[in-house]
Structure 1
Amino acid sequence: MAYESGSLDATLAAAAGQDLALMAELRSALVDSAERQLDLLRRARCDGNWQVAAMRLKGLAASFHAEELLEAAEAALNAVPGEPGAVREIEQAIARLGWRAPAQA
């Protein structure tokens, strides 16, 4: 399984320092929140609900610097409610947000 790296890891490290438990908790909070918004996207049947869930997901991704999730959320904003490709992109981006042990110095 591939994991998202780069800006997200830097953001988590800046917030948690050397505290690996806190870093894991922050990553878990991101994934949990993203999954809640994904659930709302799946259930959206109108443009308004779809747009709200996609915007929340985009904001969440931006706050953590989760670039792949941010791009998937932006794509969802341009898709019609229930678009399977948009949902699949977000599912895959969330799956790649799993725990990644930081490099040891």
Structure 2
Amino acid sequence: MSATNALEVPAFWGWFDHFVASVKLAAIRAGLELSIWEKIAQGYCTAEAIAAREGWEADGVRRLLNVLVSIGLLTGEADCYRLVAEADWYLVPGNPPIWGDFCCT
């Protein structure tokens, strides 16, 4: 940095992309470890239904579901979440190839 230039700030978006990628991976991993896509495929389409089935707090489940909606791996809102085609194909056990095995190993 020269004395005549203003402070040269490194590009923000490259770093931010890495941060967002880590958040997405954490959400995907949580969804896989908790079998979220499998539960929705079985018909448990609300945070309350999933939480009641597993003995979890509905608010925490809703937060995870909303993150998965925000990254495009679910659709819907609090009344009913639904699988997107990619999640149904790649993240629900029994549908080859199951990328969840790859992600969580």
Higher helix fraction: Structure 1 or Structure 2? 1
TM-based fold match above 0.5: no
What TM-score do the two structures reach when normalised by structure 2?
0.37
Higher strand fraction: Structure 1 or Structure 2? 2
